[in-house]
Chains A and B, each alone.
Chain A
Amino acid sequence: MGQTIAEKILSHHAGKTVRAGDIVIVRVDGVMATDATAPLAIQAFRAMGGVRLWDPTRVFLVIDHAAPAPNETVANLHRLMRDFACKMGCRLYDIGEGICHQLMIENEHVRPGDLFLGADSHSPTYGAVNAFGVGVGSTDLAAAMRTGKTWLKVPKTIQITLHGTLRPGVTAKDVILRLLRELGADGANYQAIEFNGEAVRAMSLAGRITLANMTAEMGAKTGLVDPTGLSLDYPFTPVYPDPDAEYSRRLALDVSTLEPQVARPHAPDNVVPIARVRGTPIHYAFIGSCTNTRLEDLAAAAAVLRGRPVAPGVRLVIAPASRRVFEAALQQGIVQTLSASGAVFIPAGCGPCVGSHLGVPGDGEVVISSTNRNFRGRMGNPRAEIYLASPAVVAASALAGHIADPAEVG
């Protein structure tokens, strides 16, 4: 019987053929922790007797969640990370360099066929580059920092086939939101997802990242995208599923008729077609996060705004996914266009996505955001309401002052 992508990658890392349901000890190719998780990981690493990293070239620390530090407590946690990285000789990405997942992919730390552990729940993102990315907590990460290994239960896989061609203005974000409505917040708990089909093959790396990223919102262990059509700057050996691989569930969606989708407060799977929420007044529009602030996302927002001012009483905040994205957007005049519309650029990083700093909404305010989670209190205020959508919808809404389809703002 054939294997899924997940079974293949895990077999390779276990050194034997494994099947869904097996519990395996596997070697990892790399590990990553952020300022939200590294301090606890460092503490646990030391508590478990760690004095050297298993391989300093495969351990990455990123200061992105609250960066630059908003207060002295966080500043001291950042200091702890810098000090640890210096002693241990591992790479630390400091403030303003970008969001952890973007940096791991952009700097080629994670590659096709890899098993990569992130102390962050959006680590399934690495499935965009055909790698098994899995989110763990700080103590699991500490154990991997020390041993180069972890244990995993080999997941079953849900196969999702995307047929058809996306209409202009409809993006991978709309696809994954639509799928979230279908599968729900625990629809893929303990399972892997594999995406394939012609709509996937046509997707850019950025689109694939958006798709894989939000499998976390379905509880998926990892979100693997079929590597057909994947284009990277380096040669790689893709990992394909076998034609006779076994899936726990098969789902198909024709994306040709899909319209923009919006997740309503306070759950990412509370998704409706935009027509159902069109006209909802907003106060605050945010374009950011590991889900959606790569170059093509910023370009899409700029194409909607075209320098026209955002609606009175609306503020638009943008946190680029990385410095490299920011510089490319500068070079292409995208930053200038967005700035002319009144967009406020904050450092590349998580920004207000997780509510630690740089743009917390006020009581009763309505936010439209290109991020991945709208749990109550997610952006730092439990009395705010967060809607999730694509960057184009966020830009159109900022322009209109209410939730709007890019098609209607011309």
Chain B
Amino acid sequence: MNSEPICGIAHVYGDNIDTDRIIPGKYTKTLDMATLAAHVLEDLDPDFARTVRPGDLLVAGYNFGCGSSREQAPLAIKAAGVAAVIARSFARIFYRNAINIGLPVIEVEDHAIRPGDRVAVDLAAGLVVNHTRNETYRATAMPQQMVDILAAGGLVNYLLRYGDYV
């Protein structure tokens, strides 16, 4: 994977943020990305959808995205303009879905990112740099299969390129 690092302002939340709080089930029955973006994180932080700027980063604690398999969760985050999600750990299905739809996610168990910090994510190097605090955090390595899918820009592009799992 040879993409540039992503740099943005951090929005920081806690542990066990479930998919119902990322996007309530009542809004998921749509294919319209603007609807998803308008209600992202609504029950967790009603101001988020209004205050998030394209390129911002979402930072969370353990088990981010637990609960449902709804792909609308990473889609809503992506549609809201979030450039990458950093979490201490991710729930399995959310993590896969994010990669599949091309939303960069990076697992960093040990970090001290605070709201408003300017943070750079280097997926290729597996590093997160906190420019505000002058700290660097190492990410958990991603399985090669996922690196390949993310490098292709998601699973749709991966299959368009290779025609099958390789």
Query: Could you list which residues of chain A lie within 8 angstroms of chain B, going by C-beta atoms?
Result: 23, 25, 35-37, 39-40, 43-44, 47-49, 65-66, 73-74, 77, 118-121, 123, 135-140, 142-143, 146-147, 149-151, 153, 185-186, 189-190, 219, 221, 267, 354-356, 360, 373, 375-378, 380, 382
Residues of A within 8 A of B160 (CB): 47-49
B28 and A48 form a contact (CB under 8 A): no
A43–B97 alpha-carbon span in the complex (Å): 15
A13–B29 alpha-carbon span in the complex (Å): 33
A356 and B25 form a contact (CB under 8 A): yes
A137 and B100 form a contact (CB under 8 A): yes
- The yes or no answer to B51 lying at the interface (CB within 8 A) is no
A186–B156 alpha-carbon span in the complex (Å): 29
17 pairs, A vs B, C-beta closer than 8 Å? A35-B29, A36-B68, A37-B69, A40-B75, A47-B160, A48-B159, A137-B70, A137-B74, A138-B71, A139-B97, A142-B156, A149-B164, A190-B92, A360-B26, A377-B20, A377-B25, A380-B26
Contacting A380 at CB < 8 Å: which of B25, B70, B92? B25
- Given A147-B165, A378-B25, decide whether A137 and B93 contact each other with a Cβ distance below 8 A: yes
- Count of B residues near A, CB < 8 Å? 41
A73–B32 alpha-carbon span in the complex (Å): 10
Using an 8 Å CB-CB cutoff, how does the interface string of B66-86 with A read, 1 for contact, 0 for none? Answer: 111111101100000000000
B72 and A40 form a contact (CB under 8 A): yes
Residues of B within 8 A of A356 (CB): 25-26, 29
Contacting A36 at CB < 8 Å: which of B63, B66, B70, B93? B70
A40–B68 alpha-carbon span in the complex (Å): 15
Contacting B43 at CB < 8 Å: which of A25, A123, A143, A376? A376
Residues of B within 8 A of A373 (CB): 18, 20, 67
B29 and A377 form a contact (CB under 8 A): no
A121 and B68 form a contact (CB under 8 A): yes
A151 and B145 form a contact (CB under 8 A): yes
Residues of B within 8 A of A149 (CB): 164-165
Query: Could you list which residues of chain B lie within 8 angstroms of chain A, going by C-beta atoms?
Result: 16, 18, 20-21, 24-26, 28-31, 43, 62-63, 66-72, 74-75, 89, 91-93, 96-97, 100-101, 143-145, 154-156, 159-160, 164-165
CB distance from B158 to the nearest CB of A (A): 8
A219 and B91 form a contact (CB under 8 A): yes
CB distance from B7 to the nearest CB of A (A): 27
A375–B156 alpha-carbon span in the complex (Å): 31
CB distance from A44 to the nearest CB of B (A): 6
A151–B63 alpha-carbon span in the complex (Å): 22
CB distance from B63 to the nearest CB of A (A): 4
Contacting B96 at CB < 8 Å: which of A136, A354, A378? A136
Q: Which residue of B lies closest to A44 (CB)?
A: B156
Residues of B within 8 A of A119 (CB): 69
B63 and A186 form a contact (CB under 8 A): yes
B69 and A120 form a contact (CB under 8 A): yes
A74–B155 alpha-carbon span in the complex (Å): 26
Contacting A355 at CB < 8 Å: which of B25, B72, B97, B144? B25
B91 and A136 form a contact (CB under 8 A): no
Q: Which residue of B lies closest to A382 (CB)?
A: B43
A139 and B63 form a contact (CB under 8 A): no
Residues of B within 8 A of A36 (CB): 25, 28-29, 68, 70
CB distance from A52 to the nearest CB of B (A): 14
A373–B96 alpha-carbon span in the complex (Å): 21
A151–B147 alpha-carbon span in the complex (Å): 13
Residues of A within 8 A of B66 (CB): 185-186, 219
Residues of B within 8 A of A143 (CB): 155, 159, 165
- Given A47-B156, A120-B69, A146-B159, decide whether A77 and B63 contact each other with a Cβ distance below 8 A: no
Residues of B within 8 A of A123 (CB): 69
A151–B165 alpha-carbon span in the complex (Å): 8
A154–B144 alpha-carbon span in the complex (Å): 14
CB distance from B57 to the nearest CB of A (A): 22
Q: Which residue of A lies closest to B166 (CB)?
A: A25
B71 and A139 form a contact (CB under 8 A): yes
Residues of B within 8 A of A380 (CB): 24-26
9 further A-B pairs in the complex, CB-CB below 8 A; given A40-B71, A136-B69, A373-B67: A23-B145, A137-B97, A137-B101, A138-B97, A140-B155, A143-B165, A219-B91, A375-B18, A378-B25
Contacting B156 at CB < 8 Å: which of A25, A139, A150, A185? A139
A377 and B24 form a contact (CB under 8 A): yes
A139 and B154 form a contact (CB under 8 A): yes
Residues of A within 8 A of B43 (CB): 376-377, 382
Residues of A within 8 A of B74 (CB): 137
The winner among B20, B29, B159 for most chain A CB atoms within 10 A is B29
A48 and B156 form a contact (CB under 8 A): yes
- Top 9 A-B pairs, shortest CB-CB distance: A137-B97, A137-B71, A186-B63, A139-B100, A121-B69, A375-B20, A48-B159, A354-B25, A138-B71
B29 and A74 form a contact (CB under 8 A): yes
